[in-house]
Structure 1
């Protein structure tokens, strides 16, 4: 999940929109606007959709790790049994070679499965990150329908922005709106059966 967070923070929350604010203009003759920011640390810690996504991938990673441990343990048991049978002289040379080749193939299959499963999980995480950023971008686009701001930037401690005035912080407004939007989506996708089961 650290990669997931890093990817999100790396992409940031940059968003631009034209704005005419009180008719004032910059030196370049362009309409002067206001830049505000969203604290990405606060957003990540409190955005319910993000928390659900993190929990989902933690569960998937845990389940995959358990499955791989079971496969590895089963394989080790087979190897130990094979070694005991060889030492006891219970296998002919040909049988031993055949079984050894089968065990090597099984080990390769487990390693390949591990790589594929980890790769699929990373692809899923990348897709969810993209979805998350799209949600935030679309929300900010709607939030700025009245063209109040030229830019909304992502701020995090230790990031590129070293200081920003507190009255430029719109994190709580954005967070509230995003969580309300997410709750609404969850409610729409929940079936009556789900509601009954929760009660």
Structure 2
């Protein structure tokens, strides 16, 4: 039997955000914007957000990441303990098998196989539950950022809010167009005012 029951989870919330920031808002063009023959000329208002910095400093993301990592750690420990317990039962059975009758041996082996199947089912169900919870957190993260950027843009009238990250599609970004800190400050203020979940706070040391 295979007792390698540990789960390896990689928190990839950033993937849910990586495609978020290329947003086109329907604000009014700035005064120096002109359009001729259907071609857009210089003058449109564009800013960008550093995706890596946003995720690193957004308290909701940090708390969520800690919460999911903690649940994953607990699940791994639980699975390892159950796996070791089953392994010990198998080893004991192998030692005593020669003293058992064929009927006793078959019955014990069937019981051990059933326990193994139950453990695999438990592992798969728990893994699915964590994956579903992570997906919900991804969706909540997406909605939080999207909603705040839309609200922020109503006050500023930008036409593009781009997501900038190393290795991404934007090769250069003028620092004067960087609104990352403003977005982070606003998101964290809203998150704090809404009240941090007790589960997230409990992970902090």
Per the shorter chain, which TM-score range?
0.7 to 0.9
Q: Note if 1:136 corresponds to 2:145.
A: yes
Match of 1:179 among 188, 192, 196: 188
Q: Note if 1:151 corresponds to 2:160.
A: yes
Match of 2:97 among 68, 72, 86: 86
List alignment gaps of at least 5 residues for structure 2: 1-8
Measured on the aligned residues, the alpha-carbon RMSD in Å equals 2.1
| Deviations 1:64-92, CA, capped at 9 Å, x for gaps | 000100110110111112112213x1x21
Shift of 1:33: 2.5
Q: For residue 77 of structure 2, what is the aligned residue in structure 1?
A: 66
- 8 Å Cα contact 2:18-2:163 kept in structure 1: no
Q: For residue 170 of structure 1, what is the aligned residue in structure 2?
A: 179
Q: Which structure has greater helix proportion?
A: 1
- 8 Å Cα contact 1:17-1:147 kept in structure 2: no
Match of 2:135 among 119, 126, 131: 126
Aligned to 2:168, the other structure's residue is in SS state coil
In 2, Cα distance between the equivalents of 1:11 and 1:158? 13
Q: For residue 97 of structure 1, what is the aligned residue in structure 2?
A: 106
In 2, Cα distance between the equivalents of 1:4 and 1:129? 9
Q: For residue 197 of structure 1, what is the aligned residue in structure 2?
A: none
Moved more, 113-122 or 49-58: 113-122
In 1, Cα distance between the equivalents of 2:15 and 2:171? 20
List alignment gaps of at least 5 residues for structure 1: 195-199
Q: For residue 49 of structure 1, what is the aligned residue in structure 2?
A: 60
In 2, Cα distance between the equivalents of 1:23 and 1:163? 23
Q: Note if 1:4 corresponds to 2:24.
A: no
Structure 1 pair 4–107 and aligned structure 2 pair: CA distance change class (3 A): same
| Deviations 1:19-76, CA, capped at 9 Å, x for gaps | 2211522332779531211001111111111000000010010000001001101101
- 8 Å Cα contact 1:33-1:148 kept in structure 2: no
TM-score norm. by structure 2 comes to: 0.84
Aligned to 2:105, the other structure's residue is in SS state helix
